[in-house]
Structure 1
Amino acid sequence: MSDTSATREGAEEQGWATARTLAEALPFIQQYDRETVVIKYGGHAMGQEESARLFAADSVLLKLLGLHPVVVHGGGPQISRMLDKAGVKSTFVDGLRVTDEATMEVAEMVLSGAINKEIANWITLAGAEADVRGVGLSGKDARLITVEKATRTRKDPDSQIEQVVDLGFVGEPTRIDPQLIQGLISADHDYIPVIAPIGVSEDGQTYNINADTVAGALAGALSAKRMLLLTDVAGVLGADGELIRQMSVDEARGAIASGVASGGMIPKLETAIAAVEAGVEAVVILDGRRPHAMLVELFTEHGSGTLITR
């Protein structure tokens, strides 16, 4: 067999494999038709150009397949790098960054500026042929996200007395106004909203919000069918270090209480619990560094990451 014939035969086999994959995906495509999927895009992979391009292309594909993707992005590593350059030291409490005035200024600049517009632009470039466009927003636009100052308590290691921890300009969503997002994702438009986790209080003060928390609040307000938390870990790991494929809300609470979940995984699980209890069918924590992780989760039987359901 000539090299040309072998190449054509190999290409034909690849074509058949692609066709089988599409056919197998059909039931899942129908299941998600015209459903909203909120995607929290974060982790270190977010700063890599090739990963960003793949994410944007997959988001456009979801839109073209009839889904309504809504992207909420983080930016912790990028904020940390900018704070380091500015000589501002960060501290964290249960995975949440303590945000003073200087940190808030940098966080808003990085989140609502560079990162938000870059992701929206990647989506617009990926969807150019189909006229699918990314629209960059923050929670301050049209009062999309109203917040109040967040509070946390922790036990003093010596006295074991609960103490209130001041997180600074860190907010918790109190009200989501989904009208702007609903207008953008309606069937008449091919827009994909990209939302920075910045909100505003009733008196006009700007607050930084954990991006997982924003994604969960939006998913509940939009009655999303799925929320995908893309991060830089495979999912929730058990005490033995193995991936937990599926958890109930009660099991997720147990993982937090027992210490199996720690650090940044705590707000992720808290977000998943709140979203499911707000009516989201399921939340998935999965590895956003893996190419096409969203497609594997939504359109294959075995899925990817850790699925949290009621």
Structure 2
Amino acid sequence: MTEPANSPFDTNTMLAKAEILVEALPYMKRYAGRTFVIKYGGHAMGDPEAARDFAEDVVLLGAVGINVVVVHGGGPQIGAMLKKLGVESSFVDGLRVTDKETAQVAEMVLSGAINKELVGWIHGAGGRALGISGKDGGMVTARKVTRTRKRPDSNIEQAVDLGFVGEPEHLDTRIIETAVSSGLIPVIAPIGADREGHTYNINADTMAGAVAAAMGAARLFLLTDVAGVMDKDGALLTDLTPQDIDRLEDDGTISGGMIPKLQTCVQAVEAGCEAAVVLDGRVPHGMLLEIFTEKGAGTLIRAQ
């Protein structure tokens, strides 16, 4: 008896699934036992369906032997809470100027609500996650970020005080390694403390890049709201080196918020991460397409 075309036992459908598994197998073998650091953020964080897809992907990666470390953002959620509390926000080069009150709100939102929600999604998908921040176990020693900008009236550079905005000065991976060796997926909020114990809000891309470099990760994934790096005709650029990125920045192909993302990728690959990928976190299972198919789904950055 012939099965209906839409039957779950349809031969063509089953063969297509088998071919996908065959294509993925060499990549599974290549990355088994390696570490992937994934920065999860952007508007995909506010979409329950996208969050569910992300959690399923993370659990699947763990199931095939890949050590997954997640670093998450939460800028829109911090902004919403600050607005609710009547606290005004300002930005310099995409970084939120952070006074002590704002730093407390950022820690509450990042280490509390967002971190534990993401842990819950991973548990719901069948994984075991551990929610931590850069302050736990002394993982991240932060230092204050400094920025300068030119005065419009004189073109003279002047220092800009961003308050409690930090960057990793030192990263101790022991707590991450302990979690991974116990079969847990670390989910890290981008908060750190300096040597005097002051709390700093850290850009999630920057934190993920530092973790990937310190772990010698096989891949750093920056999930964002665009497909990757586009050329001037709107076509996706799939493979870039730091030299390519300098050239594309000079001719204006790369601009705006993509510049600091790619700077993070370059710093990570030059400091020990094998490769970094910028891809659209809103595409269902986009990470799996990037990892387990020949074509990929985003922009890959290698040191050379």
* Cα displacement (A) at 1:9: 7.5
* Cα displacement (A) at 1:7: 3.3
1:52-201 alignment runs, 5 A limit: 52-127=51-126, 132-186=127-181, 189-201=182-194
In the alignment, structure 1 residue 229 sits paired with structure 2 residue 199: no
Q: Deviations over 1:62-119 (max 9, x none)?
A: 0001100100000011111111212222221112111112221111111000000010
In structure 1, distance between residues paired with 2:8 and 2:120: 38
Deviates more, 1:266-275 or 1:151-160: 151-160
Q: Deviations over 1:126-180 (max 9, x none)?
A: 11xxxx3011000000011111100011222332211111111100101000011
In structure 2, distance between residues paired with 1:306 and 1:151: 29
In structure 2, distance between residues paired with 1:88 and 1:260: 36
Matched with 1:8 is: 7
Name which of 301, 304, 308 aligns with 2:301.
308
Q: TM-score w.r.t. structure 1 length?
A: 0.93
In structure 1, distance between residues paired with 2:64 and 2:192: 31
User: In 2, are the aligned partners of 1:96 and 1:264 still within 8 Å (CA)?
Assistant: no
In structure 2, distance between residues paired with 1:226 and 1:281: 6
In structure 2, distance between residues paired with 1:112 and 1:272: 24
Name which of 221, 230, 235 aligns with 1:242.
235
* Cα displacement (A) at 1:10: 6.4
CA 1:32–1:201 in 2, change beyond 3 Å: closer, same or farther? Answer: same
In structure 2, distance between residues paired with 1:221 and 1:231: 22
Matched with 1:36 is: 35
User: In 2, are the aligned partners of 1:107 and 1:208 still within 8 Å (CA)?
Assistant: yes
In structure 1, distance between residues paired with 2:47 and 2:227: 18
Q: TM-score w.r.t. structure 2 length?
A: 0.95
Question: What's the Cα RMSD here?
Answer: 1.7
User: In 2, are the aligned partners of 1:94 and 1:263 still within 8 Å (CA)?
Assistant: no
> What stretches of structure 2 of length at least 5 have no aligned partner?
none
In structure 1, distance between residues paired with 2:165 and 2:20: 44
User: In 1, are the aligned partners of 2:115 and 2:187 still within 8 Å (CA)?
Assistant: yes
Deviates more, 1:140-149 or 1:161-170: 161-170
Matched with 1:288 is: 281
User: In 2, are the aligned partners of 1:248 and 1:309 still within 8 Å (CA)?
Assistant: yes
Q: How many percent identity over aligned positions?
A: 58
In structure 2, distance between residues paired with 1:273 and 1:37: 16
Deviates more, 1:255-264 or 1:16-25: 255-264
User: In 1, are the aligned partners of 2:4 and 2:10 still within 8 Å (CA)?
Assistant: no
In structure 1, distance between residues paired with 2:139 and 2:299: 29
In structure 1, give the amino acid aligned to 2:41.
Answer: G
In structure 1, give the amino acid aligned to 2:220.
Answer: M
User: In 1, are the aligned partners of 2:277 and 2:298 still within 8 Å (CA)?
Assistant: yes
> What stretches of structure 1 of length at least 5 have no aligned partner?
none
User: SS of the counterpart of 1:224?
Assistant: coil
* Cα displacement (A) at 1:257: 4.7
* Cα displacement (A) at 1:260: 3.6
In structure 2, distance between residues paired with 1:237 and 1:5: 43
In structure 1, distance between residues paired with 2:161 and 2:51: 34
